[in-house]
Amino acid sequence: MVVKVYGPFYASPKRVLVCLVEKEIEFETSPIDLFKGEHKSPEFLKLQPFGQVPVIQDGDYTLYESRAIIRYYAEKYKSQGTDLLGKTIEERGLVEQWLEVEASNYHPPLDNLVMHILFASALGFPSDPKIIQESEEKLGKVLDIYEERLSKSKYLAGDFFSLADLSHLPFTHYLANSMGKEYMIRDRKHVSAWWDDISSRPSWKKVLQFGAPF
């Protein structure tokens, strides 16, 4: 069964794509144009009632929320491709902890930066310098904690690459490239080495070929 992934052009679906590549799972993609509002079409809302990408279809199984989908495939194919959940239940606990840190602490200020620096004019809302400044300050504090953590272990959950690291790839790619904020990574030695490591994985390079709006 080939997994169908909706919205490969955008960042959150790329979490799913890079996971599928790491797990050596065959997939196909179906484009969704957010700029044309296709994620709010009645047809798409039947798949994803909140009108967000990604969604996957795998036979008659439909699943949404990128971090739920990557957990599902990492567990379903635990012994195929890269193990992304750790070897023990305690290691998986730490993977879950850092996945939650990514979702709750790291992503919100970074998402604000991405929206207000890159997407504002294309989506037709005003870029707010105050939000940009506050978000950069918040993200900087989070990155300071990452710097401390990554001085003690090679990856976030320990000395093994996991879903916790993988989940950072798509939005940090914006931070390190088109946003003009690469210094936030480069000013922090261990974060910088970690970013070079995870972003040079063949899986991520393959996923970048799907393109991006910015």
Residue 70 or 184 having the CB closest to a second copy: 70
Which one of the spans 86-94, 114-122, 189-197, 203-211 is the region binding a second copy (CB under 8 A)?
Answer: 86-94
Binder of a second copy out of 50, 124, 130, 200 (CB under 8 A): 50
Measured between alpha carbons, how far is 88 from 93 in angstroms, rounded to an integer? 9
Binder of a second copy out of 104, 121, 200, 209 (CB under 8 A): 104
Long-range contacts of 106-113 (CB under 8 A, 24+ apart): 106/139, 106/142, 106/146, 106/168, 107/171, 108/138, 109/134, 109/135, 109/136, 109/138, 109/139, 109/142, 110/135, 110/139, 110/171, 110/172, 110/174, 110/175, 111/171, 113/139, 113/174, 113/175, 113/179, 113/181
Instruction: Report if residue 68 touches a second copy, rule: CB under 8 A.
Output: yes
Q: How far is the CB of 89 from a second copy (least distance, A)?
A: 5
Residue 23 or 67 having the CB closest to a second copy: 67
Give how many residues touch a second copy by CB under 8 A. Answer: 30
Instruction: Report if residue 156 touches a second copy, rule: CB under 8 A.
Output: no
Q: What is the DSSP letter of 81?
A: S
Amino acid code (one letter) for 174: Y
Instruction: Report if residue 149 touches a second copy, rule: CB under 8 A.
Output: yes
Measured between alpha carbons, how far is 67 from 137 in angstroms, rounded to an integer? 25
Which one of the spans 35-43, 68-76, 126-134, 176-184 is the region binding a second copy (CB under 8 A)?
Answer: 68-76
Residues in 115-144 that interact with a second copy by CB under 8 A: 142
* Neighbouring residues of 206: CB distance < 8 A, sequence distance ≥ 6: 21
Binder of a second copy out of 15, 71, 168, 173 (CB under 8 A): 71
Measured between alpha carbons, how far is 144 from 57 in angstroms, rounded to an integer? 38
Applying CB under 8 A, the residues found at the interface with a second copy are: 49-50, 61, 63-65, 67-69, 71-72, 75-76, 89-90, 92-94, 96-97, 99-101, 103-105, 142, 145, 148-149
